[in-house]
Amino acid sequence: MTEEEAMTTDAPEADAEIADMLEAVDGEVIDGEAESTEEDEDVQAIAPELESNIVSFPANSGDHEQLMRMAEALLFAAAEPLDHDTLAARLPAGADVGALIQDLQALYEARGVNLVCVANKWMFRTAADLSFLMERNAVEQRKLSRAAMETLAIIAYHQPVTRAEIEEIRGVSVSKGTIDVLMETSWVRLRGRKRSPGRPVTYGTTEAFLVHFGLEAVGDLPGLDDLKASGLLDGRLPPGFEIPIPTEGGVEGDGEFEDDPAEEYGTAIDQHLAGSADETE
């Protein structure tokens, strides 16, 4: 066999080997692309979560003036009052939130809006002496009845208090729907159960109550001397007349729903509604 014939005979075999090699290489490339695609998909899936946990603060974020601007922006944009911990979590680590709040209060003290503390949280509110500017745009509010106001005052000063205790203090029974109206305004809530026979539910005020009346805590409610000075109490009070000092925790024997995992909040509401239904009958 001549050299030319040998080369012609081996050509198909060489072509076949080359084809196999190319196919193997293509397979590796395809597999590599597939693995790369899967990894890219995994990275893309967790990317939003990673971005949400990373805040890119500017280079001068440690400056007190810049920190004040950040806190101011957070408070201005917030839909509800912000507490100390929420502000600290949004600001750079190590920010002195107390000093920032104090400086912002001083900065806005003489302006049209003030930084005020309500329910141990902070919010911007129109300056009290400029409230007349909002009268034209004010929403007409339905006034509470005298019975509802008296019931609200008893709940605020004696909380947590039961329905029977409210009636004993007022000297008359609580009419149908009085407490329901207060609960609809979000000023009163079911507080818990009293650790006494029958385990009656108790009532207390809410954070919305504090925000509406501009109170930092229930302990800021006016006392006996304050009410006398404002002319809201008759000077001829019966002997021994006192106004209790309200507290968030209540007294011994009062329980919160959260303290009893077996308590179903819905059951307490059902019993409250059942009491109103009994009055209707």
Q: Can you spell out the DSSP letters for 224-280?
A: HHHHHHTT-S-SSPPTT-------SS--TTB--GGG-TT--HHHHHHHHHHHHHHHH
CA separation for the pair 77, 125 (Å, rounded): 13
260 and 196 part of one domain: yes
| Cβ count near 47 (within 10 Å) | 10
Amino acid at 113: V
Of the candidates 245, 268, 270, 246, the residue with the CA atom closest to the CA atom of residue 256: 268
201 and 233 part of one domain: yes
Of the candidates 256, 177, 192, 247, the residue with the CA atom closest to the CA atom of residue 218: 247
Please say whether the dihedral angle defined by the alpha carbons of residues 259, 260, 264 and 270, taken in this order, is positive or negative.
Answer: negative
Residue 17 belongs to some domain of the structure: no
159 and 272 part of one domain: yes
Of the candidates 100, 248, 278, the residue with the CA atom closest to the CA atom of residue 174: 278
Q: How confident is the model at residue 233 (pLDDT cuts 50, 70, 90)?
A: confident
Of the candidates 98, 72, 73, the residue with the CA atom closest to the CA atom of residue 85: 98
The domain tally of the chain equals 2
Please say whether the dihedral angle defined by the alpha carbons of residues 14, 19, 22 and 27, taken in this order, is positive or negative.
Answer: negative
Question: Does this model's pTM top 0.85?
Answer: no
Q: Which of 10-19, 227-236, 263-272 has the least mean pLDDT?
A: 263-272
Q: Choose one of 88, 107, 137: the last residue of a domain.
A: 137
151 and 215 part of one domain: yes
pLDDT at res. 4: 47
Average pLDDT over residues 200-218: 88
Residue 30 belongs to some domain of the structure: no
| Residue 260: pLDDT over 60 | no
Q: Choose one of 137, 166, 190: the last residue of a domain.
A: 137
264 and 221 part of one domain: yes
Average pLDDT over residues 38-51: 49
Q: Choose one of 115, 137, 159: the last residue of a domain.
A: 137
| Residue 2: pLDDT over 60 | no
Contact assessment for residue 182 and residue 205, using Cβ atoms and an 8 Å cutoff: no
pLDDT: which is higher, 146 or 244: 146
209: domain range? 146-280
In sequence order, the 6+-apart residues with CB closer than 8 A to the CB of 244 are 157, 158
Residue 43 belongs to some domain of the structure: no
164 and 233 part of one domain: yes
Q: Which of 33-42, 79-88, 171-180, 238-247 has the least mean pLDDT?
A: 33-42
249 and 123 part of one domain: no
pLDDT: which is higher, 61 or 163: 163
Mean pLDDT of the chain: 74
Task: For 90-140, write each residue's pLDDT tens digit.
Answer: 998 888 999 999 999 999 999 999 999 988 899 999 898 888 787 665 555
pLDDT: which is higher, 54 or 236: 236
How far are the Cα atoms of 12, 79, 166, 232 from residue 159, in angstroms, in the given order?
Answer: 98, 28, 10, 21
